[in-house]
Amino acid sequence: MDTVNELNTLISRNYDAEEGFKLAAEKAKSPGLKDYFIRRSKMHYDFGHDIKGEIKNLGGEIDKGTSIKGDLHRTWLNIKSAVAGDTDEALVEECLRGQKTAEEDYQQAVNKVDSSLASKLAVHKGTIVDSVNEWKQLEGNM
């Protein structure tokens, strides 16, 4: 059941990211950035549901809710954006940090699960890596 535990950790991280991006979308001033955050929230929602299917296939129990770490990160996002004057730059910076953490979480999971599941998770991770590269471009244009 170590695989199920690892997948449940990823589900929590995806819930965290989904909620964090929703919050960022609410706070963003740029309509393009709002849209971008909404798309990233949906991406993590989809990843979470994909992983839920894998847990069901393994006969495991699905954990519900966000992680304490994610809740703390969103609190930090609120504080940082307030201190920085709710700037889009502060939101992008904080979301970039969250995506880099997600990338690390996925790599850890890829290293721990069997190869067929690792392939699916590697696709998720690749999408996150692509989003980090997009973030860097967004930061450069602000």
Q: What are the two backbone dihedrals, phi and then psi, of residue 45, each rounded to the nearest 5 degrees?
A: -60, -50
The C-alpha atoms of residue 82 and residue 47 are separated, in whole angstroms, by 30
pLDDT at 1 over 80: no
CATH number of residue 23's parent domain: 1.20.1260.10
The confidence score (pLDDT) of residue 40 equals 93
The C-alpha atoms of residue 35 and residue 90 are separated, in whole angstroms, by 17
Average pLDDT, the chain: 83
Q: pLDDT tens across 65-120, in order? A: 656 665 665 555 555 555 456 688 878 887 888 888 889 999 999 999 998 899 99
The confidence score (pLDDT) of residue 101 equals 86
Work out the angle between the directed axes of helices 2-27 and 68-83 (0-180°, nearest 10): 20
* Closest to 17 in 3D by CA, of 74, 92, 83, 85: 74
- Which domain covers residue 123, as residue numbers? 2-140
**Under DSSP, is residue 22 helix (H, G, I), strand (E, B) or coil?**
helix
Share of the chain above pLDDT 90, in %: 42
The confidence score (pLDDT) of residue 64 equals 75
Q: What is the mean pLDDT of the segment spanning 57-70?
A: 77
Q: Please state the domain count of the chain.
A: 1
The C-alpha atoms of residue 53 and residue 125 are separated, in whole angstroms, by 17
pLDDT band at residue 142, thresholds of 50, 70 and 90?
Answer: low
